[in-house]
Amino acid sequence: MSNEYTKMWEKLNLDLDAHDALLEVLGKFYGDIYLSQQNRLKGMEYLDFVLSEVHGLRIKELQEAKEKGQKVVGTFCIFVPEELTLAANAIQVGLCAGAEAGKEEAEKIVPRNTCALIKSFIGFKLARLCPFTESCDLVVGETTCDGKKKAYETFGQYVPMYVMEVPQQKNASDRELWKTEILRYKDKLEELTGNKITAEKLKKAIKTVNDKRRVLQRLNKLRAVIPTPISGRDVLLINQISFYDDPVRFTQKINELCDELEEKIKASQGVVPENTPRLLLSGCPMAVPNWKLPYIIEGSGAVVVGEESCIGTRNTRDLVDESGESVEEMIEAIVDRYLKIDCACFTPNQERLDNIISLAKELKVDGVIHYNLLFCQPYAHESIKIEKALQENGIPMLAIETDYSMEDVEQLKTRVEAFVEMVTP
């Protein structure tokens, strides 16, 4: 990234030296993991550009929008309905949570036995390294796990925090609670922005967010073809960037990329040989720049053909019903759509088990790698069940538990390589 943004970062009170150092490391990391790939789609250039400008041009856009009176809402979870945020003419962005930053400082205010993602967003704030967090007029958390739920109490001392309560079951009374939370968020947005969420605006916003999901569904269909026409790393990056980029522009660019993908498929051009072991990656979300495990997997001679994750199919599988005309009808549709999310926060959560099995079969995978952030209890519990269910369906699974450090890379490589060898058809 260029120095033309230094003034902006200074204004945002970033720690400039540390931020420069971070960008340098990230740039190198990105070069190794992404730019080194052969036969990449031309359309990935847009993603390379967005990523290289994620703390630059995109932040500039946010700042310009703020100057014109728009508000910026930061989130960490796919339960925060972007439809409402957009309908209030605000911008919704994911916040930095995918790298080790300010870890020591973070561990002074949250327990050491907290998952890396949580320590990361707190560390990024304390170390003044995330221009997204610093641009936020509101940070919206949710009660999806103990770690985040309690960390937000502390995080709220540093950012303008707002918490949505996600229920833990899916009974009628849970739907009622969730509807109340959706309406409370709508009120909050109207208060924050001064904009009324009208039926017209909401209808348009639902369409915008659905379109983003549709193009990611299209991408997921195309990437599943044999021979695999795009690397798993690239698809993960696209999913990651879907949380940062302008949704309309993003949808257009990814549709273009999908057109290119169709050409490649017609020409039977894969990025890997036809007999490459196909793996499904399942579990905890991988926020930018958490590419450690996918890099190891694809460096071990396998290819990732699906991400069963919040930064993956969990976020894109279900659309909001578009037939509603009144605000009330659309709110109902939003409530229903978000309650379809098969997050491990629910009990029971049989849907996720079923979804993984059918996804694994649909994608014709040779195995599943379950990714668990150390100390993430909900996914760790489900991992044990998933392994059993997959086994019963004849699909091998490797359970990986790790954090953002690079200390275990060699150990992970050994385990992944052994697994890939085992599942190679």
Residue 296: closest CA among 39, 98, 33, 51: 33
User: Which CB, 174 or 362, lies closer to a second copy?
Assistant: 174
User: Which CB, 166 or 237, lies closer to a second copy?
Assistant: 166
* β-bridge pairing 91-94 and 138-142: unpaired
Asked if residue 378 binds a second copy (CB under 8 A), the reply is: yes
Q: How far is the CB of 181 from a second copy (least distance, A)?
A: 7
Asked if residue 342 binds a second copy (CB under 8 A), the reply is: no
Q: How far is the CB of 208 from a second copy (least distance, A)?
A: 29
User: Which residue from 318, 342, 366, 382 is in contact with a second copy, where contact means CB under 8 A?
Assistant: 382
User: Which CB, 27 or 156, lies closer to a second copy?
Assistant: 156
Asked if residue 375 binds a second copy (CB under 8 A), the reply is: yes
User: Which CB, 348 or 394, lies closer to a second copy?
Assistant: 348
Q: How far is the CB of 243 from a second copy (least distance, A)?
A: 24
Q: What is the dihedral of CA 261, 263, 222, 35, to 10 degrees?
A: -20
Asked if residue 348 binds a second copy (CB under 8 A), the reply is: yes
User: Which CB, 161 or 409, lies closer to a second copy?
Assistant: 161
Q: How far is the CB of 173 from a second copy (least distance, A)?
A: 4
- According to CB under 8 A, which residues from 50 to 89 bind a second copy? none
Contact indicator for 78, 295 with CB cutoff of 8 Å: no
User: Which CB, 180 or 414, lies closer to a second copy?
Assistant: 180
Cβ atoms within 10 Å of 417's Cβ, excluding its own: 16
User: Which CB, 28 or 112, lies closer to a second copy?
Assistant: 112
Q: How far is the CB of 106 from a second copy (least distance, A)?
A: 11
**Both tokens assigned to 252:** 């257009």
Number of chain residues interacting with a second copy (CB under 8 A): 42
Q: How far is the CB of 157 from a second copy (least distance, A)?
A: 10
- According to CB under 8 A, which residues from 203 to 232 bind a second copy? none
Q: How far is the CB of 125 from a second copy (least distance, A)?
A: 16
What would the x/- binding string for a second copy be over residues 163 to 182, using CB under 8 A? x-x-xxx-x-xx-xx--xx-
Asked if residue 391 binds a second copy (CB under 8 A), the reply is: no
Q: How far is the CB of 115 from a second copy (least distance, A)?
A: 9
User: Which CB, 384 or 418, lies closer to a second copy?
Assistant: 384
Asked if residue 339 binds a second copy (CB under 8 A), the reply is: no
Q: How far is the CB of 351 from a second copy (least distance, A)?
A: 13
For tokens 């993984």, name the residue.
356
Q: How far is the CB of 164 from a second copy (least distance, A)?
A: 10
- According to CB under 8 A, which residues from 107 to 166 bind a second copy? 109-111, 113-114, 143, 145-147, 149-154, 163, 165
Residue ranges in contact with a second copy by CB under 8 A: 109-111, 113-114, 143, 145-147, 149-154, 163, 165, 167-169, 171, 173-174, 176-177, 180-181, 344-345, 347-349, 374-375, 377-378, 380-385
